[in-house]
Amino acid sequence: MLVMFMLASLATSIPQANIKEICRSATVDSLPEDRASASRGCIGDETAAQDQLKQEWHRFTSADRSNCAQTPGMQFSYVELLTCLEMQRGGNFGPMSPAGAPPPASPPPIAPMGAASKP
């Protein structure tokens, strides 16, 4: 019973990661003069993605969350997690549509030049 409760509570909250650890490689892989700005940029991106995940976590299906969840023993990034979840919906990076909703209609095809209709 306790295990089921723990699994249910994990599914309702985003995974936790150490943003400074995530961004360490951005600092190490940068030129010395760019390290401070690379670190600030990475921390800003990861924090923004974490905040967005906190707000939208409930909108993603448990199957999508499971597909994108971190693998035990591997580091994940909030930016990567958010991107994966958005890609589960076909790459719609706009506001989330309700689960099961049909994709937006495609615009009508454009007629080739010189194929103007005659009255």
Q: What is the pLDDT of residue 113?
A: 60
pLDDT tens by residue, 3-43: 343 344 445 688 888 999 989 988 888 899 999 999 999 99
Q: What is the pLDDT of residue 118?
A: 54
Two tokens, residue 92: 């719609």
pLDDT tens by residue, 82-101: 999 999 877 555 555 444 44
For residues 56 and 81, the answer to whether their CB atoms sit within 8 Å is: no
Domain spans of the chain, in order of start:
16-88
Cα separations (Å) of 1 from 69, 88, 109? 23, 31, 56
With 0-12 CB in 10 A as exposed, 13-18 as middle and 19+ as buried, what is 42?
buried
Helix (H, G, I), strand (E, B) or coil at 100: coil
With 0-12 CB in 10 A as exposed, 13-18 as middle and 19+ as buried, what is 22?
buried
| pTM check: above 0.85 | no
By C-alpha distance, which of 29, 50, 54, 52 is closest to 39? 29
C-alpha 58/C-alpha 51 separation (Å) is 13
pLDDT tens by residue, 32-74: 999 999 999 999 999 999 999 999 999 999 989 988 876 666 7
Q: What is the pLDDT of residue 99?
A: 47
By C-alpha distance, which of 13, 4, 109 is closest to 57? 13
Q: What is the pLDDT of residue 66?
A: 86
